[in-house]
Amino acid sequence: MRSIDCSTQQPLLAQPDKVPQGSPDEGVQYPPLEPFIAQVEKDSSRMETVWKRTMHQQYQVSDRYDHVAALIVRWDDELDRDLQCKHEVEELNNLFKDDFHFNSRVLKLDTRSRPQSQLNHAVAELVHRDDGPSRKHLLIVYYSGHGVARGDGHLGFAGVPKDPCPVLEGGGRYLPMLKWTDAERDLDLAEADVLIVLDCCCAAMIMNKELSDDARSHEVIAATGRLQKTNAPGSRSFTRYFIDALKEELEKNNRQPFNTYDLNAEITRRRMLRTPYESRIFNRHANARNRRHIALAPLDHIQPVTPEQAVSRPKRAREAATLDLQISFSKRTRLADHEVKQLATKMFEAAKSTDLDIISIDWMEFKPRKEVVQLQQTLRVLFYAIYYFTRWRQIVRRNKKRKAEGAIDDDQPRPTKRPAISTFFLEQPPNSYIEPLSPPPSSRSDAESPQP
């Protein structure tokens, strides 16, 4: 298990997800992991995927990034004797480079110079070398190692599991410790989308930062919650499941884009079968204007081209301004794939008919009102409760009538018992009776919808 017990740090506590007093994040709570939230996020992710693919087809632009750069951080072998993250990190680095064609490299932190300075420099170099416009450039920072909840409420990285003060490990002069928030400052200044993945204890201590109105995506996937441990490298580690989930999504989607929500859902599905830990995905900035999930896909479209092909290839212009609109639905709390596709197509046609040079129409967030969904779920339960009660009464009355007439006797088998109502509800799609989705169009071309 990953943990750290340093005199200069706040030790791990038994209570999960408790925020230290005085922390900048004090009072910030996780989104409740209840069926309502899970279903809303699942539906929103599906609709967002359909919208993106439709818009990319309409605008005839690539549905994936032009450039992705990854920085994978671990500690030097002399420090990382207990965890030995080397093998998993190398496998992930090779997966990024060989299968996804990302520009990926590994940073090994040591104590010959200040670890904080090493990570600060590496992140600054990543931004300087690989930054670019949002939706076209993506920066990934992945950390595997020890994590610690600092006394100031921030997340810290450590190279050893015990107090390093008596003996300086790795033949260096500095303590193997650093503060993540000091290292990520350059990421806040980047234009590109940013994905941070943390495989360490207390990973969710990174949540959340100040408000932001950036149009870019800045997401975090944390291996575990605040002040919680996670598995060390091996068959049950987060990085192991992360690698396996990447391969699974790559094959399942036929090398087409898949978003971070679907990736984390696959990781969680695999982990919950063997471990008690659940990874979290959230936006780095609280109440950010943009809730768009990051889409991952191999950069297969990046191929050597001739100068003539480069000139004719459609390119997305740099945006000069953005306009946020809100569409309100009177009854809908979710949309079917063909409805999302139809809405996207109609909006593209409307934008194309103007002379405003609109270069994209992005899906920001679908947000159904919680009380409306809960009311629909309650009505659904009542509907099926009344239906099954009525059916039960009909069966009882019919059996009594037949028995009174001598059509059956007590020795004959009774009617098969129906399944429990609660089990029936769990097997049904949400809102299936109270909010039926409209049937797909009759024509074959309109009926086809992209795979989520």
Mean pLDDT, the chain, as a whole number?
Answer: 77
Which CATH number is correct for 65-296, 1.10.10.10, 3.40.50.300, 1.10.3720.10, 3.40.50.1460? 3.40.50.1460
Does the pTM of the predicted model rise above 0.75? no
| Domain boundaries, given as residue ranges, for the chain | 65-296, 377-434
Token pair 């040079």 is at which residue?
357
Q: For residue 197, what are the β-bridge partners? A: 142, 221
Percent of the chain with pLDDT over 70: 70
From CA 193, how far away is CA 110, in angstroms rounded? 29
Rounded-to-10 torsion of CA 19, 22, 28, 30: -10
Residues 154, 123, 303: CA angle, nearest 5 degrees: 135
Both structure tokens of 418? 């129906």
Using 50, 70 and 90 to split pLDDT, how confident is the model at 315? low
User: Starting from the edge strand earliest in sequence, which strands make up the sheet with 137-144, in order?
Assistant: 103-109, 67-75, 137-144, 193-199, 218-222, 280-283
Q: How many CA atoms lie within 13 A of 393 on its CB side?
A: 6
Q: What is the pLDDT of residue 167?
A: 46
Identify the three-state secondary structure at position 148.
strand
Both structure tokens of 150? 């600092």
pLDDT of 395 > 60? The answer is yes
From CA 338, how far away is CA 101, in angstroms rounded? 32
Token pair 């982990």 is at which residue?
271
Both structure tokens of 267? 């990781």
Both structure tokens of 289? 């204007």
Phi-psi region of 213 (alpha: psi -120 to 50; beta: other; left: phi over 0): alpha
Q: What is the mean pLDDT of residues 39-53?
A: 81
Token pair 């996670």 is at which residue?
230
Spell out a b/e string for 95-134, using b for 16 or more CB atoms within 10 Å of the CB, else e: bbeeebbbbbeebbbbbeebbbebbbebbeebbeebbbbb
Most confident of 30-39, 292-301, 371-380: 292-301
pLDDT digits (tens, 9 = 90+) for 357-389: 888 888 877 877 766 666 766 777 888 888 888
Q: What is the mean pLDDT of residues 415-437?
A: 48
From CA 205, how far away is CA 149, in angstroms rounded? 7
| Cβ 283 vs Cβ 291: under 8 Å | yes
Helical packing angle, 35-59 and 370-404, nearest 10°: 120
pLDDT digits (tens, 9 = 90+) for 200-253: 999 988 866 665 666 788 999 999 988 888 999 999 999 999 999 999 999 999
| Cβ 155 vs Cβ 206: under 8 Å | yes
Q: Which amino acid is at 215?
A: A
Identify the three-state secondary structure at position 115.
helix
Q: Cα 13 to the chain's mean position, in Å?
A: 27
pLDDT digits (tens, 9 = 90+) for 254-295: 999 999 999 999 999 888 888 888 898 988 876 556 678 899
The percent of the chain in helix, strand and coil, each rounded to the nearest 5, is 35, 15, 50
The full length of the chain comes to 452
From CA 111, how far away is CA 174, in angstroms rounded? 5
Provide the 10 A C-beta neighbour count for residue 44.
19
pLDDT of 168 > 60? The answer is no
Token pair 């002069």 is at which residue?
173
- Omega before residue 208 within 30° of 0, cis: yes
From CA 314, how far away is CA 60, in angstroms rounded? 7
Residues 250, 40, 260: CA angle, nearest 5 degrees: 25
